[in-house]
Structure 1
Amino acid sequence: MTTFPFLKRYMPALIISLLGLIIIFLIGSWIWLRQSLPILDGTITTGELKDPVVIERDSQGVPLIHSENRNSSAFALGFLHAQERFFQMDLLRRSSAGELSELLGASTIKHDQKVRLHQFRQRAERNIAAMPAEQKALLDQYINGINFGLNQLPAKPWEYLLLGQKPRPWNSADSLLTIYSMYLTLQSERGSYELRDTALAELLPADLYAFYFPQGGRWDAPLFGEAREKVSLPETPISALLDEQDTIVYQAMESDDKIYGSNNWVVGGNLTAHGGATLANDMHLGLSVPNIWFRAGWSIPGTNRFVRGVTLPGGPIMVAGSNELVAWGFTNTGGDWSDLIPLELSEDGNQYKTPEGWRSFAYETESIAVKGSDPKTIEVRTTIWGPVIGTNHDGVPLAFRWVAHDTLGGNMNLIDMEVVRTAEEALELGPTIGIPHQNLVVGDSNGNIGWTVAGAIPKRVGFDGSRSISWADGSAYWDGYLSPQEHPRLYNPESGRIWSANARIVDGDYLKLMGNHGYALGARQQQIRERLFAQEKFNEQDLLNIQLDDQAVFLERWQQHLLTLLEDQQDYREVYTQIQNWGGRAAIDSVGYRIVRNYRLKLMELTTAPILTYMRRYQPKFSFGQLKRQFEYPLWEMAQQEPKQLLNPDFESWNAIKLAALDQVLEKMNRSNQPLKRQSWGAENTAKIQHPLGKAIPPLNWFLAMPAEPLAGDTHMPRFQSPTHGASQRLVVSPGRDADGIFHMATGQSAHPLSPFFGNGHQDWVKGNTSSFIEREPRYRLTLN
């Protein structure tokens, strides 16, 4: 009993002491964090540069580098990347090299083991040795700038202080590893699409495969060719896939266009008031703190022009932007740039058959360093075609032939884009660029526009690449790569319009060259095309309006479908009203939109479950993955025609399966215990943009994550948006009129929470406000001597 008077007497002092400790901790943390802030003003003697370089930064931290020596501006860019983004760069190189575990520990061992099969560090070193001397000299200066910038920080980047690690110096191979990191993001390192599609084609009855997995349909909007024909109902019943004892397996469906991709388009000079081309590009990637891109600009030696746009920290290259004569942008192609080769083995399994006879496997050992633990070793088994990366559905080992493995697959030729003078020159450069294959769209100040594939295209002989077939007898192989003259290309089309958005963009012979590795459905691309043909004149704001278009054109028929389904259903009157008044957009306040889009995905899940069940008999971990991108066509036919032979046997009628899909959607929405009128699209589509360490250490999100704001837009429309993926940047620019251009970038320039640039510009990205493509008035000035 005497304890309580004691506490009463000393409680104020305890509270004051506790508050004092908290204040001391916060002040100490603030001082600790400030030590790793970049240098913004002043003069630094580098001991590296022949001529001084001036770096001006505006209020958002966008730098403009002034130098008459390109190698010196590369040094300055490396300095900036290291000071602002070294931890991000480190993650990129380690991800593609399979070296994350050395920094982060055992949680990333599986990733490292998978990636080490490709031995990208060795390939990067090989490619550096083959690099032209001029590029190598520029890269060397960029690397010198990185390491100098890192050493100039008063303290190592705060992430390393938190992890108790030391940052490792940068080298030339690391810069190519950042390119390979984009391969891992934009293409499959295991040929997933071909692996699954081959299994489906070989295991399913032919008519069921053709129906459920078409190559396209009415939503196609290619630059060349037409949309595909309507799918036909199969005669084989879905029950033919199932045994009596089978339990139907269900797998939740995410949006069938939730992919790493982008939008870009360009209009020619005949469609602008000034006669120059105008280009728009928004690259869709995972959203994090910091943004994957770093905005920058630098002077082009020998001219009075600047190149501006976005760089990828780790490389001295302008990825997308304008050099005041030409503007360029990218979207992921969705083409087929790899092949899986089923191997014919000897009886003992130690050899594989080649056109020259039996050959023994080569073996190499890779050691993976692990923070706080012993190294892990893996054995890489290789063939003349590439590494063995797994087995197919029959257990046959598969060798992997991939453009990324070849010298042409990774280089710095994109650096030459900053000095091209015409759209035609840019198109000629495209095929030589060693990056994950992109739709390169360009426009110049004279009004010319064009499209080609950036990246080397293999010459397939004896097969089209759509299926995994043996190369053992020599009838199927790659015969090198297409010449630049053989590449698909479009220049100054009569319409004055070019567009791409990850869907199929070509047909006929061009499609045979590009192949198919999982094109997006096409609705987003078609909506862009229709918006472009709805006007005859465009300015920058007009193109931004298309980027921000969240009209639900693709789902309009599904909204009508649901209204018809519920017309006589008295138990769903409130739901019916919300759907009826959905607004026709992926708006943050629309309840009806959320219901319609999720109903479609749930119906997709329920109707395709028998196929999933059947495939897992052969591959226990089988997943539709990328293949569900074209499910829209069979799904719509089933919803309209209600074929008895295709009804999931877990349901007694098509009406029952439709209402079950809707009920499951509503049940999930109701888990929040909020009235239906509050269950809007924005409540589901809420930003979750975090620092990588914030994902592992949630308390860090308090001051590192971007605000959890509701976001307009969705996947099947130009305003591509999900909580964690979306437009990593938006740019609209007419080369030569760059001051009139528009630019948005999520999260801002810096990942440092105490930086004056942290989060600057993010609200322009969220709200779609007009924001300048070029830098604003200089606020900071740093000279490197």
Structure 2
Amino acid sequence: MARARRVLLGLLLLAGLLALGVWLVLRASLAQLDGVRRMAALSAPVEAQRDARGYLTITAENRLDVARALGFVHAQERFFQMDLMRRNAAGELSALVGPKALPLDKARRLHRFRHRAEVAVAGLPGDERALLDAYVGGVNAGLDALGGRPPEYLLLRQQPHAWTAADTLLVAYGMYLDLQSAQGRDDIATGWLRDQLPSDWYAFLTQHSADWQAALDDSHVTAVPLPAGAMPEMLRVIKAACSDCEPRDARILGSNNFAVSAARGDGDRAILADDMHLGLRSPGTWFKARMRWKDAAGAHDLAGATLPGTPLLIVGSNGQVAWGLTNTTSDWADVVDLRLDAAGTHYQAGDVRKPLTRVVERIEVADGTTVALEVLESEWGPVLPQPAPKGHAYALRWVAHDAQAVNLGLMRLESVSSVEEAVTAAASVGVPHQNLLVADAAGHIGWTVLGAIPRRSGGDPDHPQDWSDGRTRWQGYLTAAEQPKVIDPADGRLWTANSRMIGGEAMKQLGNGGWDLGARAMQIRDDLRAQARLDEAGLHAIQLDHRALFLQRWRRLLLDQVLTADFVAANGLADVRAEVEKSADAARPDAVGYLLVRSFRLEVLKQLFAPLAGLLEAQGLKLADVKMVPETPGWALIQAARPDTLPAAYKTWPELLQRALLDSRQALVGKYGSVAAATWGADNPTGMRHPLSMAVPALSGWLDQTSQGMAGDAHMPRVHNHGHGQSERMVVSPGHEEKGLLVIPGGQSGHPLSPFYRSDHAAWLAGQALPFLPGEVSYRLVLKP
């Protein structure tokens, strides 16, 4: 017995020593928060201060030293995240995680972004290149200063590689892939649909919503009526099953920004709100930083959200101008229909037969192997893998492939002093195209598009186009004077939410890249117009508005036409009707009625468009690829209730609606056990997971952020939908930053042992406002030359 006890104690001691060793190894890779650190290339000492939540303040003698210090801190807190971003864009994940990443790497290599980034770096203006080089030097100094590898590399048994200038531009390319993800599939799918349908049915299905729209200029689109002729059989009869039948607008999440001018802002101030919606993960996307320095123009003091991997303030305020971003969801890529010769090696360009260029991309894999991938390119862009008609191929003409796509031009916003200056600077900024909303200290507000807008000539950008005769093409890019803009609207309010922003010629310039329905933008607009004046708290309240206004017509349809007394009694649906009556008004975590109505709507739309979804899948396409928002034609079909437009699987429209309710209810009960347990919060958890915990679930409790059922959904200002949501919430008035707010999900650090790993998370979950500016200094690191 004594011997067994000694063995047990020895094992416990050994386990304790092993745990201590692991803990010490992990602690060695924590960021240095206090003290003094020598750093090459600095021109003068720099202070990197943090408050109790890790919000960073850098104070330096010049902008280049700020960039060096920011790079140092980014690397120490977020290097693995930065590494994933550059590898994702370059198609180099397999070298880190192994063969399972090969399919993604092959898809990414089509764009040859590593090569394009290296070319773009060589072409940067001198001031941008100097800023980039300073940041890169800081990143590598921060990485070298860690006492050990970041924990993820220990688990992967890999070594981190040094940062390069091209890597920062790869981070920007990664955002292109995230924000402009269609990459031509939408044009191919929409073109296929046009070729299959009579023109009136095609126009009806692909119309933009006349019911839900909120353009900045109050322009409207006209509803396309339901065609009088019979519905084509392909839209009524299921000839091929669909595995991915989800309506497109269920996936659009986007972002919000909105502003009020001095005429509408409390204290005669312009105030800006911004919440960018992205996939949520741990750590989050953004890193909060305040940056202060002096130069010949005077003192600079910027604060807001930075993106690890880049030296720039992405959204925030410089004290004179505040800016926020949302994805435009406009059309930044065209598909060129290449006419090939019989051998498939050349294509026609005017009177000339030009050869397709063959480039071999070599993908390194962590197991030591190398995979060769051949990429075909035309003068207009790479050849897409999607099948084309015999004798043809599809090439992608995408802004992301041009020299204008990436640069550090966003640095120009750091020194602008007015809305006019900011709007003028927007055209030269190389980023994935964003709705830029700006407010200045004089009380003005403005909107334009951040990024280069192609000048299209001829053709229809919604479908594959023949460019071989030279009449259809891109003729460079619009100048700053030609960019669409709205400055100081009469009612003193601006808003964008990924839907159609503007009408007329400007709408044609931007094009439809899959605009959101407009319900979210309309709710924001109406919230803004409901009050004569708003302060920071009022704008923050709009960010948290999760009323389900969009779903109310579906709720009424369910109560009036489906949940009749006889149907309820025959199917035991009294609990369903009671929940729909009492809890479908908002996307609250405890709301059962909201989830019931939401699920009913999606099931109805799935049933309506299942024939089309199946046919598209048979072509290697998806319903979600088509530039079509099913809500608009779907609702029109339901309201008309014509027998000749009813899907062939049903005898009457009431039968379709009833079956959709029963099927959606059954799915929820099967998932949650009962109707009462099917709350929106149960269906819509936070879901902020670390990439490695998905591969090693045992680490979930250590790596993932606290999860709870979340309020909000896709078609309301507070967006949260199954792991996608508000990646930051910011409200700020330039010149009055002390009154603003800024909160991110998760926290500042990517290291699970850091005190900042979850520092903002509880406030973000609760919808609590945290100060826009850093708080009292808790940690001070001095970087010396």
Structure 1 residue aligned with 2:369: 374
Q: Secondary structure at the match of 2:481?
A: helix
**Which stretch of structure 1 is more off in the superposition, 255-264 or 112-121?**
255-264
The residue number in structure 2 matching 1:610 is 611
Amino acid at match of 1:767: A
Matched, 1:654 2:653: yes
1:492 partnered with 2:488:
yes
Shift of 1:300: 3.8
In structure 1, C-alpha distance between the alignment counterparts of 2:460 and 2:532, rounded to whole Å: 40
Q: Corresponding residue for 2:169?
A: 176
Change (3 A) 1:414 1:86: same
* Alpha carbons 2:239, 2:611 under 8 Å: kept: no
- Aligned position for 1:567: 564
Instruction: Tell me: CA distance 1:608–1:672, structure 2 relative to 1, closer, same or farther (3 Å).
Output: closer
Match of 1:347 among 342, 352, 358: 342
1:749 paired residue number: 748
Aligned mate of 2:511, from 512, 515, 521: 515
Name the CA distance, whole Å, in 2 between partners of 1:614 and 1:99.
35
Letter in 1 for 2:402: D
Verify the 8 A CA contact 1:255 1:715 in the aligned structure 2.
no
Of the candidates 399, 406, 410, which is equivalent to residue 410 of structure 1?
406
SS at match of 1:270: coil
Per-residue Cα deviation, 1:599-621 (whole angstroms, up to 9, x for no partner): 1001100110111233344x0x3
Determine helix, strand or coil for the equivalent of 1:156: coil
What is the distance in 2 between the residues matched to 1:385 and 1:628? 23
CA 1:649–1:449: 2 relative to 1, 3 Å = same
Are the equivalent residues in 1 in contact too, given 2:237–2:649 (CA < 8 A)? no
Q: Provide the C-alpha distance between the structure 2 equivalents of 1:159 and 1:113, rounded to a whole number of angstroms.
A: 24
Match for residue 309 of structure 1 among 304, 308, 318: 304
Letter in structure 1 aligned against 2:51: D
Residue 449 of structure 1 corresponds to 445
- Whether the 8 Å CA contact 1:252–1:602 is kept in 2: the answer is no
- Residue 14 of structure 1 deviates from its aligned partner by 6.8
Unaligned stretches of 5+ residues in structure 1: 1-7
The one-letter code of the counterpart of 1:157 is: P
Maintained 8 Å contact 1:711/1:723 = no
Q: Secondary structure at the match of 1:532?
A: helix
Question: Match of 1:435?
Answer: 431
| Equivalent-residue separation in structure 1 for 2:662 and 2:359 (angstroms) | 54
Cα gap change, 1:294/1:433 in structure 2, threshold over 3 Å: closer, same or farther? same
AA partner of residue 692 (structure 2):
L
Partner Cα distance (1:244, 1:559) in 2 = 28
- Within 5 Å, give how 1:330-729 maps onto structure 2: 330-394=325-389, 396-564=392-560, 565-568=562-565, 569=567, 570=569, 571-617=572-618, 619=619, 621-627=620-626, 630-672=629-671, 674-729=673-728
Partner of 1:4: none
For each residue in 1:337-375, what CA deviation from the matched residue of structure 2 results, as whole angstroms up to 9, or x when unmatched?
A: 111101111122221100241111111111000110410
Contact 2:258 2:272 in 1 (8 A): yes
Summarize the Cα distance change of 1:225–1:751 in structure 2 as closer, same or farther, 3 Å threshold.
same
Residues 654 and 562 (structure 1 numbering): CA distance in 2 closer, same or farther, change over 3 Å?
A: same
In the alignment, the residues of structure 2 paired with residue 722 and residue 15 of structure 1 have an alpha-carbon distance, to the nearest angstrom, of: 49
Q: Deviations over 1:717-772 (max 9, x none)?
A: 00000231100000000011001101110011112111011111111111111211
Asked if 1 retains the 8 angstrom alpha-carbon contact of 2:248 and 2:624, the reply is: no
Q: Do the aligned residues in 1 keep the contact of 2:247 with 2:629 (CA within 8 Å)?
A: no
Q: Does 2:146 align with 1:153?
A: yes
Q: What is the alpha-carbon distance in structure 2 between the residues aligned to residue 669 and residue 236 of structure 1?
A: 38
Alpha-carbon shift at residue 227 of structure 1 (Å): 3.0
| Residue pair 1:263, 1:283 contacting (<8 A) in 2 also | yes
Q: Distance in 2 between matches of 1:673 and 1:99?
A: 40
SS in 1 for 2:385: strand
TM-score by length of 2: 0.96
Contact 1:239–1:649 (CA under 8 A) maintained in structure 2 = no
2:38 maps to 45
State the 1:16 CA deviation.
5.3
Q: Which amino acid aligns with 1:588?
A: P
Look up the SS of the partner of 1:274 in the other structure. Answer: helix
Seen in structure 2, the aligned counterparts of structure 1 residues 257 and 268 have a Cα distance that, compared at 3 Å, is farther
Residue 368 of structure 1 aligns to a residue in which SS? strand
Are residues 1:126 and 2:119 paired?
yes
> In the alignment, residue 113 of structure 1 is paired with which amino acid?
K
Asked whether the equivalents of residues 590 and 681 of structure 1 are also in contact (C-alpha less than 8 Å), the reply is: yes
Cα distance in 1 between the residues matched to 2:7 and 2:711 = 48
Give the counterpart letter for 1:320 in structure 2. V
The letter for the 2-side match of 1:240 is: E
Is the partner of 2:720 in helix, strand or coil?
coil
Do the aligned residues in 2 keep the contact of 1:354 with 1:471 (CA within 8 Å)? yes
Unaligned runs of 5+ in 2: none
- 1:726 to 1:583, Cα distance in 2 relative to 1, 3 A: same
SS at structure 2 position matched to 1:280:
strand
What amino acid maps onto 2:774 in structure 1?
Answer: E
Q: Distance in 2 between the 1:73 and 1:243 partners?
A: 62
The structural deviation recorded for 1:192 is 1.9
1:756/1:140 CA distance change after superposition, 3 Å: same
Q: CA RMSD in A?
A: 1.9
The C-alpha deviation readout for 1:376-409, integer Å capped at 9, x for no partner, is 1111111111111134553531111111111111
Deviates more, 1:598-607 or 1:643-652: 643-652
Give the letter for the 1:43 counterpart. Answer: V
Assess, with a 3 A threshold, how the Cα gap between structure 1 residues 245 and 624 changes in structure 2: closer, same or farther: closer
Aligned to 2:291: 298
Residues 57 and 290 of structure 2 are in contact (CA less than 8 Å); yes or no, is this contact kept in structure 1?
yes
Rounded Cα–Cα distance in structure 2 between residues aligned with 1:398 and 1:233: 33
Among residues 185, 192, 201, which one is paired with 2:194 in the alignment? Answer: 201
Which of 300, 314, 320 is 1:325 aligned to?
320
Query: What SS does structure 2 have at the residue aligned with 1:394?
Result: coil
Give distance in 2, aligned partners of 1:583 and 1:110: 41
CA distance in 2, matches of 1:45, 1:494: 54
1:519–1:629 Cα contact (<8 Å) kept? no
Change (3 A) 1:495 1:301: same
Mark the CA change 1:25 to 1:594 in structure 2 (over 3 Å): closer, same or farther. farther
Taking structure 1 as the reference length, what is the TM-score of the superposition?
0.96
Shift of 1:123: 1.1
Q: CA deviation at 1:432?
A: 0.6
Task: Give 1:104's match in structure 2, choosing from 79, 82, 97.
Answer: 97
Matched residue type, 1:654:
W
SS in 2 for 1:758: coil
Shift of 1:518: 0.3
> Does the aligned pair in 1 maintain the 2:350–2:469 contact within 8 Å?
yes
Identical columns (%)? 39
In the alignment, the residues of structure 1 paired with residue 486 and residue 28 of structure 2 have an alpha-carbon distance, to the nearest angstrom, of 52
Q: Does 1:227 align with 2:228?
A: no
Deviates more, 1:647-656 or 1:338-347: 647-656
Contact 1:256-1:628 at 8 Å conserved across structures: no
**SS of residue paired to 1:470:** coil
Asked whether the 8 Å contact 1:251–1:605 carries over to 2, the reply is: no
From 20, 26, 34, the counterpart of 1:27: 20
Three-state SS of the structure 1 residue aligned to 2:226 is coil
* 3-state SS, counterpart of residue 267 of structure 2: coil
Q: 1:673 to 1:69 in 2, by over 3 A?
A: closer
Shift of 1:487: 0.5
Distance between the aligned counterparts of 1:315 and 1:180, measured in 2? Answer: 12
Q: 1:33-64: per-residue Cα shift (whole Å, max 9, x none)?
A: 11110000000111321200001100111110
Structure 2 CA distance for partners of 1:726 and 1:63, relative to 1, 3 Å: same
Count of equivalent residues: 776
Q: What's the CA shift for 1:189?
A: 5.9
Q: Which amino acid aligns with 2:448?
A: T
Distance of 1:67 and 1:447 partners within structure 2: 30
Indicate if the aligned counterparts of 1:269 and 1:277 stay in contact, CA closer than 8 A: yes
* SS of equivalent to 1:581: helix
